[in-house]
Chains A and B, each alone.
Chain A
Amino acid sequence: MMVREMKKMILSCLIAVIFLFSGCENADNNNVDVPHATKEIFAMDTYMMLTAYGEQAEKAVDEAVVEIKRLDKLLSVGEPDSEVYHINSDGKGTLSEDVQLLLEKSSWIYNNTGGTYDITVYPLMKLWGFTEEKQSVPSQKEIDKVLGYIGFDKLHYADGEISLAENQGIDFGGIAKGYTGERIMQIFEKYDVISGVISLGGNVQCFGAKTDGSLWKCGITDPDNPQDSNKLLGIVSVRDKAVITSGGYERFFEENGKTYHHIMDVKTGYPAKSGLRSVTIVSNDGTLADGLSTACFVMGKEKAVSFWEKHKDKFDMILMTDENRIFVTEGIAGNFSSERDFERIA
């Protein structure tokens, strides 16, 4: 009798232990019940990752990939068949709906940021070699010449047509990924995705919250350790937001012991030196977030903050200065954490 009870006890212990362990495994992956799809794709000269949860996640992600390829073909400056390539080589063209939208958004950012974000920067990017593999510092004479072509206010567009000034060229590189992300969010919505996150070359957009209802934790790259995902500037937790960073550490080259990054100040013709190392924009509007990350980086802290004060309903931001001080605007300060000190801007 006693032995039989012992047997029972051991058996139930065994079962309990097995359940315990299988329980742990399930806790690791709380999304196990919801169908999900993940895809990576190389496009727009970068690496992209798309993840969606929902009954039609697979369809949503597949259509997103098709959309990325379509926009890449439309907006690429190097692809000899793209709309932007034709506009640049002909100096004029008929606008597609997408390019029309991008022009309108570019115009708003240009006019409201004192021209710090300007799609006509293209000839300057070319001069420095940032459109190619090899970069070098141009002469002041060359820079002055190219600066003469630059200016969004010099191009004209109306009734679905665009015409550029002489020697002008446009490049939507500063907002194309943000716009693409926004389009993907619309596709996710169409397919009733319940939760999703995408990274288009480090430009992140979150759809909804995570499947367990908690916020997406977005780790912001530390400019001192851009390759190390364990060392971060900080973490911002969001839902339904684009989180986009601009920093001089992303693309740069060295010449005679000096480094030159790819974020151009169209006023000087040189890489922007505004006292900021990194600017992160958090916004519902992916296109705006992308453009503003560049604009605020060029503006510097003071101007960026006064710009934010006027438009705080549209976005929030995280700034890191050359002295490694971190500033976070009030809208997201409660959802930001960092191992470093940071100050709140209200």
Chain B
Amino acid sequence: MHKKNVSYDVILIAVFMLIGGLIIGFILLSSHKGKSVEVRIDGKIQGYYSLNENRTVNISSATGENILVIENGQAYMKDADCPDKLCVRQGSVSKDGQSIICLPHKVVVEVTGNESEKKQNSTDIIVK
């Protein structure tokens, strides 16, 4: 009887530890989840795309098209039919808070998802 009790407790402890481990693992994973880009047109969110997955995203707005490429953890505007093409010239973004903006098409592509990097980046706002 006594012996049986101990083995039951060992199982319970093991279950607790497993649950604990899972919770810790989940918290760790979710706080260090991969970064993604948020695509917005005129302030409205169109979609989120992980930076971990290489792909091409066609962004169609009322005023034109932008082609966003995600490659090796970075995002850049490959092409656009806007007149100034400043978004294409802007190059690639990968750090939290960085963004590519296409004014004529009202398109914003912003890197999000890594709070610890945001904290490191010690400014609240950029003056241009």
Residues of A whose CB lies within 8 Å of any CB of B are 3-4, 6-7, 10-11, 13-14, 17-18, 21, 24-25, 28-29, 39-42, 45-47, 133, 197, 199, 201-204, 206, 210, 216-221, 226-227, 229-230, 232, 235, 243-245, 247, 250, 280
Contact A28 B103, beta carbon cutoff 8 Å: no
- In whole angstroms, how far apart are the Cα atoms of A46 and B106 in the complex? 9
- In whole angstroms, how far apart are the Cα atoms of A244 and B125 in the complex? 12
The contact string, 1 if C-beta is below 8 Å from chain A, for chain B 112-128, is 00010001011111111
Select A11's contact among B16, B40, B106, B124, beta carbons within 8 Å: B16
Chain B, interface size category, equals 35 or more
Tell me the residues in window 23-54 of chain B with beta carbons closer than 8 Å to chain A beta carbons.
Answer: 23-24, 27, 31, 40, 42-43
Select A221's contact among B5, B91, B128, beta carbons within 8 Å: B128
A202 surroundings in chain B (CB, below 8 A): 126-128
- In whole angstroms, how far apart are the Cα atoms of A39 and B40 in the complex? 12
CB nearest to B82 among chain A residues = A133
Select B84's contact among A24, A42, A133, beta carbons within 8 Å: A133
- In whole angstroms, how far apart are the Cα atoms of A11 and B83 in the complex? 63
Residues of B whose CB lies within 8 Å of any CB of A are 5-6, 9, 12-13, 16-17, 19-20, 23-24, 27, 31, 40, 42-43, 83-84, 90-91, 95, 97-98, 101, 103, 106, 108, 115, 119, 121-128
Select B127's contact among A7, A25, A218, beta carbons within 8 Å: A218
Q: Can you give 12 contacting A-B residue pairs, CB < 8 Å? A: A10-B13, A18-B27, A40-B43, A42-B103, A197-B125, A199-B127, A201-B128, A203-B127, A204-B127, A227-B90, A232-B123, A244-B127
Select A229's contact among B24, B42, B97, B119, beta carbons within 8 Å: B97
Contact A217-B106, Cβ < 8 Å, known A10-B13, A21-B24: no
B124 surroundings in chain A (CB, below 8 A): 197, 210, 216-218
- In whole angstroms, how far apart are the Cα atoms of A283 and B9 in the complex? 68
With both chains docked as a complex, state the minimum distance between the C-beta of B27 and any C-beta of chain A, in angstroms: 5
CB nearest to B24 among chain A residues = A17
B23 surroundings in chain A (CB, below 8 A): 14, 17-18
A7 surroundings in chain B (CB, below 8 A): 9, 12-13, 16
CB nearest to A134 among chain B residues = B83
